[in-house]
Amino acid sequence: MEGAPPRKIHSVLFMCAYNAVRSPMAEAMAKHFFGKSIYVQSAGARKGDVDKFALAVLDEIGIDAHRHKPKSIEELEEWEGLNFDLIISLSPEAHHKALELTRTLAADVEYWPTPDPTIVQGSREQVLDAYRDVRDGLMRRIKQRLRA
């Protein structure tokens, strides 16, 4: 129905390339801001390693994501199945994978192109600034999109 408000989101999956930076940051912030009112998970097109800079910039705003364990979409599907109202992809690779998933899942997919801060070079502070920019951009979009 054109012009209809978006339906209430009860569950969301954030996806990025490795589930190491962007999607775990999004998962941690969504859980922090929305608690148990929305079921939130994250996964990667592939499984990567925990990124210490991502954890550090979340720590700066009082969000602890140190227990995050990166997982691939296949691992998530095996562990708990894939039953989400909304899949938000944050990288081109993840978006491609999300669209593949919707061949068999009834989930909406949104692509939020999000820069990869791991490619930034420079001083520690310059690198952290790139991670902060990603964090702050995701925070704004999450609050706006998932607000009841």
What number is the average pLDDT over the span 128-142?
A: 98
- Report the C-alpha gap between 148 and 138 in whole angstroms: 17
What is the chain's mean pLDDT, rounded?
Answer: 92
Q: Kindly report the number of other CB atoms within 10 A of residue 35's CB atom.
A: 9
Domains and CATH numbers, the chain: 11-143 (3.40.50.2300)
- Chain segment 1-40, per-residue pLDDT in tens: 455 556 788 999 999 999 999 999 999 999 999 999 999 9
Question: So what's the pLDDT on residue 23?
Answer: 98
Q: Which residues contact 65 (CB under 8 A, 6 or more apart)?
A: 24, 25, 27, 28, 54, 55, 58
Question: So what's the pLDDT on residue 8?
Answer: 82
- Dihedral of CA atoms 68, 93, 106, 65 in degrees, nearest 10, equals 10
Q: Which residues contact 103 (CB under 8 A, 6 or more apart)?
A: none
- Chain segment 65-122, per-residue pLDDT in tens: 999 999 999 998 887 777 899 999 999 999 999 999 888 888 899 999 999 999 999 9
Q: Where are the alpha helices (DSSP H) in 73-121?
A: 73-80, 92-101
Is 109 in contact with 87 (CB distance < 8 Å)?
Answer: yes
Question: So what's the pLDDT on residue 1?
Answer: 43
